[in-house]
């Protein structure tokens, strides 16, 4: 079976879709920016360590491990996370957020010196006219703060990523002044932020191409980050466009946690980049990563959440189930995992699930019984099928066994299967 003959891919029909730079880099903001959501519960340090290891398992390049300028309690947690990276020899790198003031940057320097871990400083300042007006900022003062902050980090031997908040609503000349000052002071990265989720894909392309050309003229060795939010529901496509337009690294959070409606969902970003062929990583622990983010932050996973929601690979519809069953009968797991799914469940360590409900056909019942070790006799199939059609919901395993028990067969009731989400 030649897979290319079974799926015509309009996504690449005009030619391959490629990022501007390879390899694509990914930054995880779950442990800092993601926790700014007003609805989250902040994980314990033990839970943060567990999430850090899962990020490393997923080969995420770098994690934001906190803003130590916020106080001694954050310093202690940031230092513990940094030591874990060193002691356990994790591949993941680390950066810390900091305002463009010495009081925020010096704690990062000190943690780096105590742990021996080179920690990138992500020094941020607002850049848009609306932020400048609301804060009473003067551009000349902002440029001065930029120069002082970046220079401080560089003098202490740390890489500095200069972050402009609300970049997607900032004036071009202001961005040139701010980024120019940061690059001259030694910043090795600049980060373009869609802080309030304002940008469309067209806006992202315009902005990133503008910044990329400016950076190329100033210092082509400087790399570009993209940090997106989900207010208009465009964070994943915006991140993809940013990579195509010239960004080297994109930021995201597990389950899309973050301020207001959240940041770019890390899980959805990884899946799409993997399907594009822009990354090649083992995503079998992605379900565990998202499940733990949900458990530890107390943010529920919606049933219809892409890829990792309870219903992502679950069907009770007769026609859909029949197609999956027929594909499996041909002995092709690859085919069964794609015939009614745009994302193969196996890629993220999951599998297709066929249920029995009011929209099911008899094939659903036959398959369900066989999967649960019950001979699909005509009497059993008819009884379960009738119960499904009379129901207003997907039948649980307990309900199906009750139908079978009513036939006088006393079938064993086993625990409900556990689905991620």
- Kindly report, residue by residue over 131-149, the tens digit of the pLDDT: 999 989 999 999 999 999 9
**Predicted pLDDT at 163:** 98
CA distances for 375 relative to 23, 186, 301, 370, 413, angstroms: 51, 71, 35, 6, 15
d(CA 416, CA 412): 12
Beta strands per DSSP E along 273-380: 314-315, 353-354
| pLDDT given at position 1 | 60
> Which of 93, 100, 7, 18 is closest to 55 using CA atoms?
93
Q: How far apart are CA 194 and CA 204, in angstroms?
A: 9
Nearest to 223 by CA among 75, 389, 95: 95
Q: Which residues of the chain have pLDDT under 50?
A: 412-421
Taken in order of first residue, the domains within the chain and their CATH numbers are: 20-297 (3.20.20.70), 314-406 (no CATH)
CA end-to-end span of the chain: 33
Per-residue confidence (pLDDT) for residue 91, from 0 to 100: 98
CA distance 365 to 321: 10
The first and second tokens of residue 187, run together, are 């910043």
Cis peptide upstream of residue 23 (ω within 30 degrees of 0): yes
What is the per-residue pLDDT for 417?
A: 45
Q: What's the angle, vertex CA 158, arms to CA 21 and CA 51, rounded to 5? A: 70
112: left (phi over 0), alpha (psi -120 to 50) or beta: alpha
Question: Using an 8 Å Cβ cutoff, are 146 and 125 in contact?
Answer: yes
Q: Nearest-CA neighbor of 49 among 85, 86, 22, 97? A: 85
Q: What is the pLDDT of residue 418?
A: 39
């Amino acid at each position: 079976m030649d897979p290319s003959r079974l799926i015509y891919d309009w996504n690449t029909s005009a030619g391959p879709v490629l990022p501007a730079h390879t390899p694509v880099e990914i930054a995880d903001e779950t442990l800092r920016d993601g926790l700014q959501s007003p609805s989250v519960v902040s994980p314990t340090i033990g839970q943060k360590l567990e999430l850090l290891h899962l990020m490393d398992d997923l080969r995420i390049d770098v994690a934001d491990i906190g803003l130590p300028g916020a106080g001694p309690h954050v310093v202690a947690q940031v230092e513990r996370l940094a030591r874990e990276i060193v002691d356990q020899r994790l591949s993941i790198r680390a950066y810390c957020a900091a305002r463009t003031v010495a009081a925020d940057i010096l704690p990062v320097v000190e943690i780096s010196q105590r742990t021996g871990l080179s920690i990138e400083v992500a020094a941020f300042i607002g850049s848009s006219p609306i932020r400048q007006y609301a804060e009473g900022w003067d551009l000349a003062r902002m440029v001065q703060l930029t120069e002082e902050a970046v220079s401080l980090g560089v003098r202490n031997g740390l890489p500095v990523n200069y972050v402009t908040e609300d970049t997607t609503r900032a004036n071009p000349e202001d961005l040139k002044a701010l980024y120019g000052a940061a690059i001259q002071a030694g910043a090795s990265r600049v980060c373009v932020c869609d802080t309030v989720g304002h940008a469309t894909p067209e806006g992202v392309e315009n902005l990133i191409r503008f910044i990329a050309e400016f950076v190329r003229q100033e210092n082509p060795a400087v790399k570009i980050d993209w940090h997106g939010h989900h207010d208009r529901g465009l964070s994943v496509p915006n991140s993809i466009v940013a990579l195509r337009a010239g960004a080297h690294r994109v930021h995201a959070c597990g389950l899309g946690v973050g301020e207001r409606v959240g940041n770019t969902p890390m899980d959805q970003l990884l899946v799409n980049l993997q399907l594009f062929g822009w990354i090649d990583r083992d995503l079998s622990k992605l379900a565990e990563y998202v499940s733990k983010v949900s458990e530890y932050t107390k943010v529920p996973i919606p049933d219809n959440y892409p890829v990792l929601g309870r219903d992502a690979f679950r069907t009770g519809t007769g026609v859909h189930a029949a197609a999956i069953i027929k594909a499996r009968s041909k002995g092709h797991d690859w085919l069964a995992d794609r015939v009614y799914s745009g994302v193969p469940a196996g890629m993220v360590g999951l599998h297709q699930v066929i249920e029995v409900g009011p929209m099911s056909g008899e094939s659903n019942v036959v398959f369900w019984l066989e999967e649960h070790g019950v001979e699909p006799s005509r009497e059993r199939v008819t009884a379960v099928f009738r119960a499904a059609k009379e129901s207003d919901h997907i039948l649980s395993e307990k309900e199906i066994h009750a139908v079978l028990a009513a036939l006088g067969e006393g079938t064993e009731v086993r625990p409900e299967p556990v689905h991620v989400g």
